[in-house]
């Protein structure tokens, strides 16, 4: 951040379990963002459902637990250990006696569980963490023992330890679900806030499908099912009993809808959730399991009224990328329609759509990559939203989840457009663009070395984009064989600049690196060129081969053995470009034709470079010079190859570069 941000950016994220994982993780990295995650707790699948039945009145803790774990920082071994324990699941076939023995080992720490991961994690916990974990497990085991004596049995199979801790805390805190969330949030020292959207009344979720089938529980809604659309969601005080199921069995869909509406309840809004929404700067309706994690949330009484009252916030709807069990046939427009329908509490509240959503983030699959992934379609011609509110982009990261960094970058830009503050970006991903042309001998080695790079020191991820310029050899085929590399081939032979421009268009990181495919540079030097950008000190960094080179003259002689003309052109052509840059733009660049460079992605995209050859670099230098953008140079290692070994740059490239510098000094940029 530049300067002091006196008023943090309050972000409310409507979430489920894991659907917003990447978004949440990226939001948490930004020091100016205060994140509040809103969930409903209607989940009742498998072990969660058994736990809800075992403790009457308990809502489903699983989505709360997942978000708690997500918000635990990992600054110390004890915090990492706590995450492992909270997410650890007992074996599916674990008998009661074995489960109780294992859990009692937490209470009486003298006994080891015999499970290496658990024992090592427990040993790394702080004493105060051990104390509250022991207390809540002991409280649950006492309840379980009392119930067991009355003949009420509990199946421990596949239960997460975190859910059992939650249950013990719930019993300890007068069976108040929302108080339990607050207490455990403090125990886990989470970054951010988790809130149940309702006041904690125990309700169960049911759905009606277009084919007339009734999904009796939340677990049915998220399970494999027919391709028929879900047409209605209902919240009941208890599950439908056998008489009710029998009564509606032969009714039409409309009759079933009317009958079930007569039973439904709209829960009251959590007052703390209301307060957070009222003061939110950004409200995000996240992706996830729509018919269980999100749409039921929007049925909460007073929720939409509170959202509409907040007129100063940006409100962003993020569509799912891929189909799920609960959305087997819907397109994006269907999801948007259902969003507004449920948000209006089934048309009970008259909505002004602009007061609910100001931006729609919708997935646009990469058209240059063949894929059989089940993307949710979106047709602009059929859209029921104002298209100038739609950001139709490729939001997908390498694991078919939303790229949280891209979303954060877009939201920050929205905030900057509205607020009189300056926020520096939080660097989340490095996009390494590798242009290649007839480099079958070296491309594999280069990609292997790049894949081995680890950016965890910067808390960043990486993507590698190889752009083949229509090679005649096996370069593209080799690059495509690397699963961790996104490989593309241009439709006809073009220059290095065309490959750069294509790569920039595909890049999803907010740092972009150009790295050659000829194996002349050391991939480890990428860390040197990105470091000033990560620190927000400089927006553009060139890796200079000249700074560390003690004898440039000898290096050029080695490259152009036996060719005096090539030697002279290379030596004095490079010097001419450097001097011309100084004369025209008051900036001496020691190595303007270096092919290892790094950029702030927003900066390089804003330059709108049109050159398709080596002159790409000259146009960039010229436009930066005219804007007053400083280009930093750092030394990098360089092992040159000879012309015979495949070096491609020739005299014509140099002439074009000289012309480009002069041309862009005197033309007006668009």
Q: What is the mean pLDDT of residues 362-368?
A: 87
- In eight-state DSSP terms, residue 454 is -
In this structure, CATH architecture of domain 429-666 = Alpha-Beta Complex (3.90)
* Residue 2 to residue 416: CA distance in whole angstroms: 13
Per-residue pLDDT tens for 79-123?
Answer: 999 999 999 999 999 999 999 999 988 777 655 666 778 888 888
- Please check whether residue 51 is in contact with residue 33, taking contact to mean a CB–CB distance below 8 angstroms: no
Residues of the chain with CATH 3.90.550.10: 429-666
* Residue 443 to residue 468: CA distance in whole angstroms: 10
Closest by CA to 268, choosing from 218, 216, 203, is 203
Residue 3 CB neighbours (<10 A): 9
Res 3: pLDDT: 41
* Residue 9 to residue 32: CA distance in whole angstroms: 6
- pLDDT level of residue 370 (50, 70, 90 thresholds): low
In Å, how far are 406, 575, 583, 622, 667 from 661, measured between CA atoms?
33, 13, 11, 6, 10
- In eight-state DSSP terms, residue 227 is S
Radius of gyration, CA atoms only, the chain = 29
Candidate from 7-16, 350-359, 570-579 with smallest mean pLDDT: 570-579
Per-residue pLDDT tens for 276-319?
Answer: 999 999 999 999 999 999 999 999 999 999 999 999 999 999 99
Res 400: pLDDT: 77
Residues 6+ apart with CB under 8 A from 78: 124, 125, 126, 129
- In eight-state DSSP terms, residue 56 is T
Res 586: pLDDT: 76
* Residue 552 to residue 59: CA distance in whole angstroms: 71
- pLDDT level of residue 642 (50, 70, 90 thresholds): low
Residue 533, pLDDT above cutoff 70: yes
* Residue 377 to residue 521: CA distance in whole angstroms: 42
Res 647: pLDDT: 53
Res 491: pLDDT: 87
Instruction: Residue count of the chain, please give it.
Output: 670
Residues 6+ apart with CB under 8 A from 381: none
Tokens of 547: 């700074």
- What are the two backbone dihedrals, phi and then psi, of residue 24, each rounded to the nearest 5 degrees? -60, -50
Per-residue pLDDT tens for 379-405?
Answer: 877 777 888 899 999 999 877 788 888
Percent of the chain having pLDDT more than 70?
Answer: 91
DSSP E strands in 320-412: the ranges are: 359-363, 390-393
Res 479: pLDDT: 97
Give the H/E segment covering residue 537. Answer: none
Neighbouring C-alpha atoms within 13 Å toward the C-beta of 154: 30
In Å, how far are 557, 584, 601, 634, 641 from 547, measured between CA atoms?
18, 22, 25, 8, 19
Residue 471, pLDDT above cutoff 70: yes
* Residue 567 to residue 559: CA distance in whole angstroms: 8
Per-residue pLDDT tens for 154-204?
Answer: 999 999 999 999 999 999 999 999 999 999 999 999 999 999 999 999 999
* % helix, strand, coil for the chain, step of 5: 45, 15, 40
Q: What is the mean pLDDT of residues 324-340?
A: 92
Residues of the chain with CATH 3.40.50.10680: 271-418
Residue 179 CB neighbours (<10 A): 15
Greatest alpha-carbon pair distance for the chain in Å reads 98
Res 2: pLDDT: 39
Per-residue pLDDT tens for 549-581?
Answer: 444 455 444 444 554 444 434 444 566 777 777
Residue 218, pLDDT above cutoff 80: yes
Res 111: pLDDT: 53
Return the residue matching tokens 């409200």: 283
Dihedral (Cα; 462, 465, 466, 467), 10-degree rounding: -160
State which fold the 271-418 domain adopts: Rossmann fold (3.40.50)
Res 545: pLDDT: 85
Closest by CA to 278, choosing from 298, 302, 294, is 302
562: left (phi over 0), alpha (psi -120 to 50) or beta: left
Residues 6+ apart with CB under 8 A from 225: 209, 213, 215, 325, 326, 328
Q: What is the mean pLDDT of residues 525-535?
A: 96
Task: Specify which residues 393 forms β-bridges with.
Answer: 363
Q: Is 330 helix (H, G, I), strand (E, B) or coil?
A: coil
Residue 267, pLDDT above cutoff 90: yes
Residue 632 CB neighbours (<10 A): 15
Res 304: pLDDT: 98
Average model confidence (pLDDT) across the chain: 88
Residue 480, pLDDT above cutoff 60: yes
- Please check whether residue 601 is in contact with residue 503, taking contact to mean a CB–CB distance below 8 angstroms: no
- pLDDT level of residue 134 (50, 70, 90 thresholds): very high
Closest by CA to 401, choosing from 321, 509, 486, is 321
Res 353: pLDDT: 84
Residues 6+ apart with CB under 8 A from 370: none
């Amino acid at each position: 951040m530049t300067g002091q941000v006196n008023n943090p950016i309050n972000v409310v994220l409507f979430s489920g379990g894991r659907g917003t994982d990447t978004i949440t993780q990226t939001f948490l990295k930004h020091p100016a963002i205060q994140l509040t995650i809103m969930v409903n707790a209607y989940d009742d699948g498998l072990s969660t459902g058994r736990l809800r039945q075992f403790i009457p009145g308990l809502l489903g803790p699983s989505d709360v637990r997942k978000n708690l774990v997500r918000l635990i920082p990992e600054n110390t071994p004890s915090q990492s250990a706590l995450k492992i324990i909270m997410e650890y699941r007992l074996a599916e076939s674990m008998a009661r006696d074995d489960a109780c023995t294992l859990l009692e080992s937490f209470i009486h720490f003298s006994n080891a569980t015999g499970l290496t991961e658990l024992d090592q994690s427990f040993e790394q916990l702080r004493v105060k963490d051990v104390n509250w974990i022991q207390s809540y497990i002991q409280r649950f085991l006492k309840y379980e023992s009392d119930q067991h004596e009355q003949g009420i049995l509990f199946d421990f199979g596949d239960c997460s330890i975190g859910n059992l801790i939650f249950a013990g805390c719930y019993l300890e805190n007068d069976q108040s679900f929302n108080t339990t969330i607050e207490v455990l949030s403090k125990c886990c020292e989470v970054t951010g806030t988790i809130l149940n959207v309702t006041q904690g009344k125990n309700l169960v979720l049911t759905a009606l499908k277009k084919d007339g089938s009734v999904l009796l529980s939340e677990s049915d809604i998220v399970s494999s099912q027919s391709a028929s659309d879900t047409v209605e969601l209902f919240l009941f005080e208890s599950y439908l009993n056998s008489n009710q199921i029998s009564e509606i069995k032969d009714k039409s869909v409309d009759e079933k809808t009317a009958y079930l509406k007569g039973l439904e309840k709209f829960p009251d809004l959590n007052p703390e959730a209301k307060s957070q929404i009222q003061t939110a700067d950004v409200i995000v309706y996240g992706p996830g399991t729509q018919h269980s994690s999100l749409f039921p949330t929007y049925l909460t009484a007073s929720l939409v009224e509170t959202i509409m009252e907040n007129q100063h916030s940006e409100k962003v709807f993020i569509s799912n990328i891929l189909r799920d069990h609960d959305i087997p046939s819907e397109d994006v427009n269907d999801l948007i329609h259902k969003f507004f329908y449920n948000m209006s509490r089934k048309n009970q509240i008259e909505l002004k759509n602009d007061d609910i959503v100001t931006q729609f983030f919708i997935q646009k699959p990469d058209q240059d990559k063949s894929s059989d992934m089940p993307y949710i379609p979106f047709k602009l011609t059929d859209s029921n939203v104002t298209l100038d509110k739609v950001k139709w982009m490729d939001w997908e990261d390498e694991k078919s989840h939303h790229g949280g960094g891209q979303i954060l970058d877009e939201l920050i830009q929205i905030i900057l457009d509205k607020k009189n503050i300056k926020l520096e970006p939080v660097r989340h991903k490095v996009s390494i663009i590798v242009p290649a042309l007839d480099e079958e001998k070296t491309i594999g080695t280069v990609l292997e070395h790049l894949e081995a790079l680890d950016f965890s020191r910067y808390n960043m991820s990486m993507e590698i984009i190889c752009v083949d310029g229509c090679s005649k050899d096996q370069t593209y085929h080799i690059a495509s064989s690397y699963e961790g590399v996104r490989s593309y081939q241009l439709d006809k032979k073009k220059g290095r600049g065309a490959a750069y421009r294509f790569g920039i268009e595909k890049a999803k990181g907010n740092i972009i690196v150009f790295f050659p495919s000829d194996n002349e540079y050391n991939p480890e030097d990428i860390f040197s060129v990105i470091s000033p950008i990560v620190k927000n000190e400089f927006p553009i960094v060139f890796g200079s081969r000249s700074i560390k080179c003690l004898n440039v003259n000898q290096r050029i002689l080695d490259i152009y053995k036996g060719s005096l003309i090539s030697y002279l052109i290379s030596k004095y052509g490079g010097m001419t470009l450097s001097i011309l840059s100084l004369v025209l733009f008051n900036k001496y660049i020691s190595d303007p034709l270096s092919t290892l460079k790094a950029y702030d992605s927003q900066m390089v995209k804003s330059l709108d470079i049109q050159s398709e050859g080596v002159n790409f670099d000259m146009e960039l230098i010229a436009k930066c010079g005219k804007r007053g953008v400083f280009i930093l140079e750092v030394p990098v290692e360089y092992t040159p190859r000879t012309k015979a070994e495949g070096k491609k740059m020739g005299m014509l490239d140099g002439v074009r570069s000289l012309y480009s510098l002069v041309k862009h000094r005197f033309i007006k940029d668009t």
